[in-house]
Chains A and B, each alone.
Chain A
Amino acid sequence: MKHLNKIVATLFTLAAFGAANAAPIDFKIGAGNQTQQIAQVESATDLETFTGRTDKVTGNLKFDPAKRTGSGKIVIDAASINTGIDLRDEHMRSPNWLDTAKFKTITFEATTVKFVKGNTFSVTGKFTMHGVTKTIKTNVEVKHLKESATTKSAGFKGDVLQVKSKFNVNLSDFGIKIPAPAKGKVSNSVTISVTVYGQSKG
Chain B
Amino acid sequence: MKILNILGITVAAVAVIALIAAQVIRADYAKRAVVYQRIEQTEEAKLFGDLGTKIGSPQAFIIDDPKAILPDTLEDGTKLLDENYLKANNIYPLQLKTINETVSMVTLGSALALVAGIATTLFTRRKLRATPSD
Contact = CB atoms under 8 A, between A and B. Distances in A.
A48 B44 contact: no
Interface in A161-202: 162, 191, 193, 195, 197
Interface stretch (B18-26, B49-57, B74-82, B124-132): B49-57
B97 interface: yes
A46 B101 contact: yes
A145 B47 contact: yes
B28 interface: no
B53 A195 contact: yes
Interface residues of B, number: 20
Interface of B: 38, 40, 42-48, 53-57, 59, 92, 95, 97-98, 101
B94 to A, nearest CB: 10
A156 B43 CA distance: 11
B116 to A, nearest CB: 25
A18 interface: no
18 contacts: A36-B44, A38-B53, A40-B56, A44-B57, A46-B97, A47-B97, A47-B101, A48-B98, A48-B101, A49-B95, A51-B38, A51-B55, A145-B47, A155-B44, A156-B44, A160-B47, A191-B57, A197-B44
Nearest to B100: A46
**Interface footprint category on A:** 20 to 34
A49 B97 contact: yes
Listed from nearest, the 8 A-B pairs whose CB atoms lie closest are: A51-B56, A36-B44, A47-B101, A195-B53, A162-B48, A154-B43, A154-B47, A48-B98
Interface string A12-42: 0000000000000000000000011010101
Contacts of B47: 145, 150-151, 154, 160, 162
Given A36-B42, A85-B92, A49 B101 contact: no
B82 to A, nearest CB: 15
A42 B40 contact: no
Given A84-B92, A195-B45, 15 more contacts: A35-B42, A38-B55, A42-B56, A42-B57, A46-B101, A47-B97, A47-B98, A51-B56, A85-B92, A151-B47, A154-B47, A156-B44, A162-B44, A162-B48, A191-B57
Nearest to A85: B92
A154 B45 CA distance: 10
Contacts of A53: 55
A13 B56 CA distance: 47
A160 B42 CA distance: 15
B7 to A, nearest CB: 32
Contacts of A197: 44
Contacts of A114: none
A193 B101 CA distance: 27
A49 B43 contact: no
Contacts of B44: 36, 154-156, 162, 197
A145 B40 contact: no
